[in-house]
Structure 1
Amino acid sequence: MPAHNETPRQDIYSRITNQIIEALEQGVKPWTQPWNAAHAAGHVSRPLRHNGEPYAGINVLTLWASAMSGHYTAPIWMTFRQAIELGGCVRKGEKGSPVVYANAIRRTETDEATGDDVERSIPFLKAYTVFNVEQIDGLPERVHASAQPADNPAQRIAHAETFFAATGADIRHGGDSAYYSPALDYIQMPPFEAFRDAEGYYATLAHEATHWTRHATRLDRDLGRKRFGDAGYAREELVALS
């Protein structure tokens, strides 16, 4: 329920804003991801309803961020009821993502000054919750269909390979996320073939390798970072982007 002094529309905007901020605090930057998703329906940056119709407006950003923070590769989302209608069931404990529907209704009212009937357009905003298909069990196989593997035609860049090998960093490949793990001191990268081009792969690897230099056995860089999203995190990201 909205707070006493908060309108339903403000509450919807607050939910979406907080959801995007939460994704950013977790280090999610969906607009910079240069590798491909592995789902037949397309990339998570183009979220789709259960019937294949694409979302629009702010829903694109919020569902894209949700897919990144949840590490989903499927771009398809549906409500709890739609999942049941397709024979599925949302897994217990799964957290849904907010989406909004904006429209207007037309109503005929009597103008108190003139007594004439006047048609007015009254805008409204409705919020509801959807789940990614990877949060749902029992759906038809077609919903989970993976894309046919396609090799990245780009060739590896020899001098870049030599440079990163010389750093001695523990670089692991697999999955659909790129990050540096300070606790375990390794860099995780999606496969080279998943990137749209070689430049995207090496740029991402260089970014994570910069984070790798902060370790106590190397530059021992401590910028006061305590958690994702705080000032120390921002300063560390600026270092990696330099």
Structure 2
Amino acid sequence: MKTSTINPSTHKGETSRQDIYTRVTERIVADLEQGVRPWAKPWNAEHAAGKITRPLRHNGTPYSGINILMLWSSAMAGGFAAPIWMTFRQSMELGGHVRKGEKGSLVVYANSITRKETDEHTGDDTEREIHFMKGYTVFNVEQIEGLPVHYYAKPEPRFHPVQRIEHAERFFASLKADIRHGGTQAYYAQGSDTIRMPPFEAFCDAESYY
């Protein structure tokens, strides 16, 4: 018995698969152009009201691979602290509904199947491995209303507060900047002339905060 692998370019789903590749690549490139590295956040969503940092499916199963980066990126863009994501249909099955106007996030599913074929000339059996990929849309639970209450639960933060740096505190206090804490993003809001930061305890260490 012979075993071979079909080149992805020979599979009829190539157009769809290439579209998924393009969308994933464009999302990561857009983040990089804005100076965002979705795989390396200096703060931890666990301390910003999120349950854990790794994205979860509706049944609690963690996402893996590129989906982690994609959903981290979507969470940062949307300001979501909750780690749970689900499809439109799953939200309905759980008694909820996606709010009108909410934009979903792309996740991908990749796998392979093995097909046995018999050579009509030699009679030899050949196993061909066919790879496939498909994309689908999910929503963060903060975009969904009416779900069972435990999907919205925000457990007490579990952390050991890091020590603030005294001289850095004095320096920033002297600037009299309006620094507001909350959420999962760090940025300067020009309109209100304020600095927005995740909670101090959310950062991996004091240096990352300052």
TM-score by length of 1: 0.73
Does residue 1:181 correspond to 2:189, yes or no? yes
Report the counterpart of residue 17 of structure 1 in structure 2.
25
* Secondary structure at the counterpart of residue 39 of structure 2: helix
Q: Structure 2: any 5+ residue segments left out of the alignment?
A: 1-13
Q: Give, in angstroms, the shift of residue 150 of structure 1.
A: 4.4
2: distance between equivalents of 1:135 and 1:26? Answer: 24
2: distance between equivalents of 1:150 and 1:120? Answer: 49
Report the counterpart of residue 102 of structure 2 in structure 1.
94
**Of 67, 70, 76, which aligns to 1:68?**
76
One-letter identity of the residue aligned with 1:42: I
**Of 111, 117, 122, which aligns to 2:119?**
111
**Of 41, 51, 70, which aligns to 1:41?**
51
**Of 128, 131, 148, which aligns to 1:120?**
128
Q: Give, in angstroms, the shift of residue 113 of structure 1.
A: 4.1
One-letter identity of the residue aligned with 1:172: R
The number of residues matched between the two structures is 195
1: distance between equivalents of 2:125 and 2:39? Answer: 49
TM-score by length of 2: 0.83
Say if 1:39 and 1:145, in contact at 8 Å, map to a contact too: no
Say if 1:28 and 1:68, in contact at 8 Å, map to a contact too: no
Over residues 168-195 of structure 1, what are the superposed CA-to-partner deviations in whole Å (9 max), with x where a residue is unaligned?
A: 3232223322111233322112222332
1: distance between equivalents of 2:131 and 2:89? Answer: 26
Q: Give, in angstroms, the shift of residue 90 of structure 1.
A: 1.0
2: distance between equivalents of 1:106 and 1:29? Answer: 37
Larger RCO: Structure 1 or Structure 2 (Cα < 8 Å, ≥ 6 residues apart)? 2
> What is the aligned-residue RMSD (CA, Å)?
2.1
Question: In the TM superposition, what are the counterparts of 1:1-242 in structure 2 within 5 Å?
Answer: 7-24=15-32, 28-37=36-45, 38-39=48-49, 41-43=51-53, 46-150=54-158, 152-202=160-210
2: distance between equivalents of 1:130 and 1:174? Answer: 25
Over residues 87-117 of structure 1, what are the superposed CA-to-partner deviations in whole Å (9 max), with x where a residue is unaligned?
A: 1111111111111111111212122441323
Q: Structure 1: any 5+ residue segments left out of the alignment?
A: 1-5, 203-242
One-letter identity of the residue aligned with 2:52: G
Instruction: Rate the CA distance shift 1:32–1:169 in 2: closer, same or farther, 3 A.
Output: farther
One-letter identity of the residue aligned with 2:114: R
**Which is strand-richer, 1 or 2?**
2
Instruction: Rate the CA distance shift 1:26–1:135 in 2: closer, same or farther, 3 A.
Output: farther
Q: Give, in angstroms, the shift of residue 26 of structure 1.
A: 5.5
One-letter identity of the residue aligned with 1:102: A
